[in-house]
Amino acid sequence: MVDNGVSDSLFKMPTIKFTKLFINGHFVDSISGKTFETIDPRTGEVIVKISEGTKEDIDAAVAAAREAFDTGPWPRMTGVERAKIMVKWAELIEENGEELAALDTIEAGLLYQLTKFGIPAAADMLRYYAGAADKIHGEVLKSSGQFHAYTLMEPIGVVGHIIPWNVPLMMFFTKVAPSIAAGCTMVLKPAEQTPLSALFAGVPDGVLNVVPGFGPTAGAAISSHMEIDKVSFTGSVETGREVMHAAASSNLKAVSLELGGKSPLIIFDDADLDKAADLAFFGMEKYVLLVLEGIYDELEKKLVEKAKAWVVGDPFDPKTNQGPQADKNQFDKILSYIEHGKKEGATLLTGGKSIGTKGYFIEPTIFSHVKEDMRITQDEIFGPVMTLMKFKTIEEAIKRANNTRYGLAAGIVTKNIDTANTMSRSIRAGIVWINCYLILESDIPFGGYKISGFGGKDLGLNALHKYLQLKSVVTPIYNSPW
């Protein structure tokens, strides 16, 4: 082990084949010729230089997508034909799975065990929406009898997808699979921290265009573009607001926002505490932990023990529990939240520091006795920082769980079915996991309440409707027998 926790023997560098923009079926340099560096968060060193797309490149990508939508085969194919291509694509993903998974691990610091697990999940997402591609239809309406009226379900057009760095490949297919099944064409901008897996694609020319670049340039060019019909964004609340402003002041394109969260994980006193501790660590980056008074001290002890045994290191090592944070910005942001927690008077039980001098590793950190109005309780940290709070009654748990601007998700750990039912109906969040956490599957809709987003859920059959629009057709019936 070197001092950043990365052992040399595990330092696997996947072959990197694609570093350019993907426009109209070809890998091309950016028009400006500019590039940016993508960084390995294990070491802080450059992995490779990527072509940097700016407004002109977005214009070229949109022109290709527009042409493919307005005159190309993709929206005009039958659903079965589109499905065949999607299924083929799913196979290619599985064939290249190890390489794709390694790209996400090396760029985002995600555990290789998780990114590898994400490969069949991504392929299945394509298969799931492929199965829906030939079942998109409107309906015949009753109307007054004097008219024949029906609806058509049509693809919305050219979609701009803007995605973040947290789970790059899964996010890519969460967006691309339903929109491509719907018959849309698209321009996707991956996050500047994690462009590599998105460049590993392949469908008919112009249908899918990928332009890596930065938010204020390439991202903003998508949200303000006059020829894009819909922008589907996943990222922070602040950027979500900007995307919506830009959409409103350009061509009023449709907007879907999937934004941050600060989700409660609520542990009742009948819970299996080992399981509760496992779930707490599994979703550590995502929530505030609310714990019933009677088990608070015991759970606190278990969590600290677990933190001490928690292995932070090379995400390729199967023994590792936690890899590096995705980039320097994120690393600095998390450490500054930890300082806030200390200053605001929360009790630091364990952790609280970075590890080593190289790369972006942070100790699993647990704050106890946090207050509702502390920044570490209210803000999304997106790092290994757990915050524990005590409650006495179910009513108090509900109140605390809802005392957040966010409404992305919640977790409940209890063996009592009544408690589970009451909690799942009382919490204002888009998904409630009972005795599990962070379970995401193709047919389970995901998306927030309140400032965590709106405009249609990701995943599930609902997600298709983010990329479809309804048209009504009405024609008179002369000499109707009815």
Tell me which residues touch ligand ADP (CB under 6 A): 162-165, 189, 191-192, 214-216, 219-220, 223, 235-236, 239, 242-243
Residue 207 or 210: the one with the smaller Cβ distance to ligand ADP is 210
For the CB of residue 189, give the shortest distance to ligand ADP in the complex, in Å: 6
Looking at beta carbons only, is 239 or 321 nearer to ligand ADP?
Answer: 239
- Distance CA(195)–CA(44), nearest Å, equals 16
Q: CB of residue 229 vs ligand ADP: minimum separation in angstroms?
A: 17
The percent helix, strand, coil of the chain (3-state, each to 5) is 40, 25, 40
CA distance 371 to 388: 9
Of all helices (H) and strands (E), which one includes residue 102? Answer: helix 97-108
- For ligand ADP, the closer of residues 317 and 380 by Cβ is 380
CA distance to 311, 472, 473, per residue, from 138 (Å): 53, 9, 10
Residue 97 C-alpha from the chain's centroid: 19
Dist. CA 251–CA 187, nearest whole Å: 17
Phi first, then psi, for residue 464 (nearest 5°) are: -60, -35
* Residue number, 79 or 195, with CB nearest to ligand ADP: 195
Backbone angles phi, psi at 136, to 5 degrees: -95, 115
Rounded to an integer, what distance in angstroms lies between the CA atom of residue 380 and that of residue 398? 19
- Pick between residue 219 and residue 261 the one whose CB is nearest to ligand ADP: 219
Tell me how far, at minimum, the Cβ of 45 lies from ligand ADP, in Å.
Answer: 21
How far apart are the C-alpha atoms of 49 and 55, rounded to whole Å? 19
Structure tokens belonging to residue 475: 């024609």
Least distance from ligand ADP to the Cβ atom of residue 420, Å: 31
For residue 382, the minimal CB distance to ligand ADP (Å) is: 7
Nearer Cβ to ligand ADP, position 269 or 379? 379
Q: How far is the CB of 435 from ligand ADP (least distance, A)?
A: 28
| Cβ-proximal residue to ligand ADP, closest one | 215
